[in-house]
Amino acid sequence: MSAQRMALNQPKDFSFSAAAEKEIDMWVAKYPADRQRSALIPALWIAQKDAGGWLPEVAMRAVADKLSMAYIRVYEVATFYTMYNLSPVGEHFIQLCGTTPCWLRGSDDLKAVMKRRIGGQNTITADGKLSWLEVECLGACSNAPMIQISNAAGDHYYEDLTAESFDALLDKLVAGEQPAQGPQNTRHTSEPEGGATVLIDASIYKQGRKLTKLPNQAKKLEIVRHAGASKAAPVKAGKPKAATKPKAKTSPKPKVVNAPKAAAKPTPKVLYTDGPTDGTPDDLKVIKGIGPVFEGELNSKGIYYYRQIGAWKAADVKMVEGEALARFPGRIKRDDWVKQAKTLAKAVAKAAAKGV
């Protein structure tokens, strides 16, 4: 919690610019009619920008009037958060993070630079260019030590600073330049210095995955519905073994040749005959909505490939939900597995055609 005090010298008037008013209206419109005070935080922030980087009391009152709030309620919020400046700031307002990671990495050195060049906190330099404040963690700890500079160009982070690079940065600001934001050493964002050391194999970012082989495409693409869903479509009906089995001997009637065995099998859980033995199974978890559990359920029903899911019709979806995902009705449609799978299947086929 901060203990901010309002500046002694306060302007007499304040009115929102048309742009600020419009922006506040946009925030207010996000809330129900009787909850519009919920827009207080952004409204104060916008008012602060509109007033030149700090919040005079008249601006707080204007916000309170706009949100139909008691003035004291607005003061309570404005005096609590350090994001609101209750006294004027420099053209370039610097917020220095002094929290542990930044402190361990040298924020005291940066503080010393500011004390030397600007003076104590909330002091504005004689030319009106610089002022600073120490604040708590700004969420860029991996690039400690860091500061935020707010000015007419916006609010920007400057990270991985040293006393020297910070000094040079202040020189640029005073000279009227806007230094490039981000790390002030050789780092790219928060990668290690010198570049990334992990996840550097470009191929892992390619869509789809390597298939060792795609033998017999036509056979693989054939999706056979289980006899339980359609008795007229016996599983593996074309296999010659069933026709040549000596069982036919016991029956003088030639009518039933290849159906009885399959029909008699009490294993109605396999939905498709396509299996992982004819190629590397696809990673179904790539499909949004499918996690390891769902993938296991689907695999146990003989579903291993994007192309299988991509070929589902409404009846298939219903059947799969009944067999494998009974506890999650509507999940397949809601996450649109079929469309996702179609796209992935295309990518896999394309990669296979290229021999990737």
Binding site for ligand FES (CB under 6 A): 97, 99, 101-102, 137-141, 144, 146
Q: Which is nearer to ligand FES, 75 or 103 (CB)?
A: 103
DSSP H helices, 271-353, are: 292-300, 306-310, 314-323, 331-334, 337-353
Q: Which is nearer to ligand FES, 143 or 258 (CB)?
A: 143
Least distance in Å: CB of 193 to ligand FES?
18
Q: Which is nearer to ligand FES, 4 or 143 (CB)?
A: 143
The SS3 of residue 234 is coil
DSSP letters spanning 270-300: ---S--GGGSPPP-GGGSTT--HHHHHHHHH
Strand ranges (DSSP E) for the chain? 92-97, 130-135, 147-151, 154-159, 182-183
Structure tokens at 267: 């294993």
236 alpha carbon, distance to own chain's centre: 45
Q: Which is nearer to ligand FES, 102 or 170 (CB)?
A: 102
Least distance in Å: CB of 162 to ligand FES?
15
Least distance in Å: CB of 189 to ligand FES?
14
Residue closest to 30 by CA, chosen among 41, 40, 18, 39: 39
Least distance in Å: CB of 147 to ligand FES?
9
Q: Which is nearer to ligand FES, 105 or 209 (CB)?
A: 105
Instruction: Give the other-Cβ count within 10 Å of 20's Cβ.
Output: 19
Least distance in Å: CB of 212 to ligand FES?
46
